[in-house]
């Protein structure tokens, strides 16, 4: 095996990095995952994820974790309501009889990020994940790498894999190519105990998702299994708007004042999203990697997930692509058809970039369509075509 007597370092303990660690360990590889969180419970995980048959679920099947997923996913959480700014429902999946299930290519079951992470963490060998390991620097060391972390520790590895997201510190070792601004900035937040703090939106969500589209703006709300709502607004802004606006996004009244101005004319019930003054919001300018990006393959370093192909969330492919990256990379690294690691990595990267380019093009088209006039009608038509086409 190409990885025999090799130490693999995965930087980043998100779904992609953890899936890769599991798949490599199944094939006998020596793996460490270096994660900046102080512990597995050190940070509240974000919203819900829908996993797709050909990507996220395929990776879980290969990892032998589909039964654990079935025990933890949230039936009905994939149900969607499309509304206008007045919260008038234009399309309602809750009114449709359940049709798909596991094994159906169109079935996209939902799971919260926290439970998915727990499934993956619990599948790994003890001490695979090295917590409190925020990467400070990376240097070549012989034919491998030396990693230094902000806590003062160091580690060495023969193979380095960057699964460290949008602001990857591994990516610059491979390519200087940077993402471009999509034109849209998201403001993300959560409402805890939504039945109490946001009762009208809690009722509107019915345990699933709301997509509100109007005035060339978007508002996406997702119910989580802990009783909270995760949400993000989407607006066309200048790239530096979040920095230049002067808004203190940790101050809920300030963010609510901005929302009422920016989303003027929207129903007052949406203001419930900012009812909990103890919960900060986070502005996130959305970026996308160039569709034609490329770089020469190296023998001991590669990327997966957002570190490789960052894009906005409006096609719902991010985590699924990262988990499919993990599946394809693990297959290449453990397949005897390749003469050496560089050939294996080259094969993976070429396919990964080709696949990511197609999805990024679709994502940018979707992002533009959802932040344009007539977006609600467009999306109602999209889901109707998907249902009946």
CB 367 within 8 A of CB 319: no
Contacts of 69 by beta carbon, 8 Å cutoff, 6+ apart: 51, 57, 60, 109, 111, 116, 119
If one counts every other C-beta atom within 10 angstroms of the C-beta of residue 126, the result is 5
pLDDT band at 76 (very low <50, low <70, confident <90, very high): confident
Q: Which of 55-69, 169-183, 232-246, 375-389 has the lowest mean pLDDT?
A: 375-389
pLDDT of residue 177: 97
pLDDT reported for residue 387: 47
pLDDT in tens, 234-274: 999 999 999 999 999 999 999 999 999 999 999 999 999 99
Q: Is pLDDT of 279 > 90?
A: no
pLDDT digits (tens, 9 = 90+) for 140-157: 999 999 999 999 999 999
How large a percentage of the chain has pLDDT more than 90?
86
The arithmetic mean of pLDDT across residues 47-54, rounded, is 89
Confidence of residue 95 (pLDDT cuts 50, 70, 90): confident
- The CA distance from 68 to 119, in Å, is 7
Kindly tell me if the per-residue pLDDT of 65 is higher than 90: yes
Roughly what angle, to the nearest 10 degrees, separates helices 375-388 and 341-370? Answer: 120
**258-262, 312-316, 321-325, 370-374: segment of lowest average pLDDT:** 312-316
The set of residues, in sequence order, having a beta carbon less than 8 Å from that of 252 and lying 6+ positions away, is: 274, 275, 276, 277, 278, 279, 280, 281
Homologous superfamily of 7-72+113-178+289-368 in CATH?
FAD/NAD(P)-binding domain (3.50.50.60)
Q: What is the pLDDT of residues 187-209, one digit of tens each?
A: 999 999 999 999 999 999 999 99
Binding site for FAD: what residues are annotated?
50, 113, 306
The answer to whether 245 and 281 are in contact (CB under 8 A) is no
Where are the strands (E) in 268-327, listed by range? 282-288, 301-303
Q: 35-44, 143-152, 372-381: which has the minimum mean pLDDT?
A: 35-44
The CA distance from 200 to 206, in Å, is 10
In the prediction, which pLDDT does 96 show? 81
Work out the pLDDT band at 388, boundaries 50, 70, 90. Answer: very low
The answer, yes or no, to whether residue 320 has pLDDT greater than 60, is yes
User: CA 183 from chain center: how many Å?
Assistant: 19
Where in the chain are the domains?
7-72+113-178+289-368, 195-287
| Contact indicator for 135, 169 with CB cutoff of 8 Å | yes
Q: Higher-confidence residue: 27 or 96?
A: 27
Instruction: List the Cα angle 217/205/279 in 5-degree steps.
Output: 70
Taking phi first (over 0 means left), then psi (-120 to 50 degrees means alpha), and beta for anything else, what does residue 193 get? left
Point out the annotated binding site. Answer: 43, 50, 113, 306
Percent of all residues in the chain with a pLDDT value above 70, rounded to a whole number: 97
Mean pLDDT (the chain) is: 94
Residues flagged as binding site for NADPH: 43
């Amino acid at each position: 095996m190409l990885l025999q007597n090799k130490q693999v370092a995965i930087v980043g303990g998100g779904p992609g990095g953890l899936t890769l660690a599991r798949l490599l360990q199944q094939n006998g590889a020596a793996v460490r995952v270096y994660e900046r969180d102080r512990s597995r419970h050190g940070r509240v995980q974000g919203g819900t994820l829908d996993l797709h048959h050909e990507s996220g679920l395929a990776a879980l099947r290969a990892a032998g974790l589909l039964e654990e997923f079935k025990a933890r996913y949230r039936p009905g959480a994939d149900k969607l309501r499309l509304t206008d700014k007045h919260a008038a429902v234009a399309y309602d999946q809750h009114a449709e009889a359940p049709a798909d299930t596991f094994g159906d290519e169109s079935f996209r079951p939902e799971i919260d990020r926290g439970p998915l992470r727990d499934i993956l963490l619990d599948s790994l060998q003890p001490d695979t994940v090295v917590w409190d390991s925020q990467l400070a620097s990376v240097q070549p060391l012989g034919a491998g790498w030396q990693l230094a972390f902000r806590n003062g520790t160091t580690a060495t590895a023969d193979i380095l894999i960057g699964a460290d997201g949008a602001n990857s510190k591994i990516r610059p070792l491979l390519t200087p190519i940077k993402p471009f601004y999509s034109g849209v900035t998201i403001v993300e937040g959560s409402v805890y105990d939504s039945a109490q703090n946001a009762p009208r939106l809690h009722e509107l969500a019915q345990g699933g998702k709301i997509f509100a589209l109007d005035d060339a703006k978007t508002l996406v709300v997702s119910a989580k299994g802990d009783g909270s709502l995760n949400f993000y607004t989407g607006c066309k802004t200048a790239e530096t708007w979040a920095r230049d606006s002067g808004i203190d996004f940790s101050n809920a009244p300030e963010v609510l004042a901005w929302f009422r101005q920016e989303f003027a004319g929207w129903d007052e019930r949406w203001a419930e999203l900012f009812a909990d003054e103890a919960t900060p919001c986070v502005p996130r300018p959305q970026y996308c990697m160039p569709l034609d990006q490329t770089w020469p393959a190296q023998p001991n370093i590669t990327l997966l997930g957002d570190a490789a192909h960052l894009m906005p969330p409006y096609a719902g492919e991010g985590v699924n692509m990262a988990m499919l990256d993990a599946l394809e990379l693990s297959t290449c690294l453990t397949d005897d058809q390749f003469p050496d690691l560089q050939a294996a990595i080259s094969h993976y990267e070429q396919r990964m970039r080709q696949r990511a380019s197609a999805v990024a093009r679709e994502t940018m088209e979707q992002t533009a369509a959802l932040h344009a006039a007539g977006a609600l009608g467009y999306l109602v038509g999209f889901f109707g075509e998907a249902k009946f086409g």
